[in-house]
Amino acid sequence: MKRIYTLPLLAFALLLLPPAASSAPQAQNWAEPALHGFVGGGVGYYRVEDEDFLDEDDDLDDDRFSWRVFAGAEFNRMFSAQVDYIDFGASDDGDARLDVDGWTISGAAAFPINEFFAPYAKVGQLFWDSDREFGPTTVSDDGNDFFWGLGARFTVTPNVDLRLEYERFEIDNTDLDMGSASIQFRF
């Protein structure tokens, strides 16, 4: 009885060997040096939690849309560097208001599953400007903070990718969690 199941399973495993062997050289091509530039843009939706205000009842907790433009260099299909401009827009919660925008510089490492799909992780620095209002008081500030993100790149054509990302920014004591969708043009 065991032979009846073993033989078909062995035959099935042998059928899988040629496609697996033919995909191995392709995986090596992803890591070969091939410098390309890229530009793109996208929209996002973020959640902000701000604990900078005096009273716990007045913490800012809001969701808003954002937009971004970016440019960068892809050293191969696995490693890239990028510069973004992100406008987080203004978040309101009663008398509290937060308006943030900034520039980022980041590096990303992708893990191509196949030629059409590659999840990736990125880390970088956000250089931000913010205006915080609470009632009649407005405070302008700037600074820079570390951020990280996870995403997936979907290759539509050899020069066009769609990207879905989750990024976590911290601006002083303000947490910004952003999900975004972008289009990237490679040249």
Output the pLDDT for position 179.
96
Output the pLDDT for position 6.
55
- Alpha helices (H) in the chain, listed in sequence order: 2-31
Output the pLDDT for position 35.
93
**Consecutive sets of 10 residues in the chain, 187 residues long: mean pLDDT of each?**
52 48 49 88 87 49 84 95 94 80 97 95 96 87 96 96 96 87 97
Output the pLDDT for position 161.
97
Output the pLDDT for position 56.
52
Output the pLDDT for position 22.
43
Output the pLDDT for position 61.
53
Output the pLDDT for position 19.
43
Read off the pTM.
0.75
Output the pLDDT for position 97.
82
Query: How far is the C-alpha of 170 from the C-alpha of 114, rounded, in Å?
Result: 33
Per the CB < 8 A criterion, the answer to whether 68 and 87 are in contact is yes
Output the pLDDT for position 17.
47
Beta-bridge mates of residue 144: 127
Question: 142: helix, coil or strand?
Answer: strand
Domains (range + CATH), the chain? 34-186 (2.40.160.20)
Output the pLDDT for position 24.
44
Whose CA is closest to 107, among 120, 84, 124, 129? 124
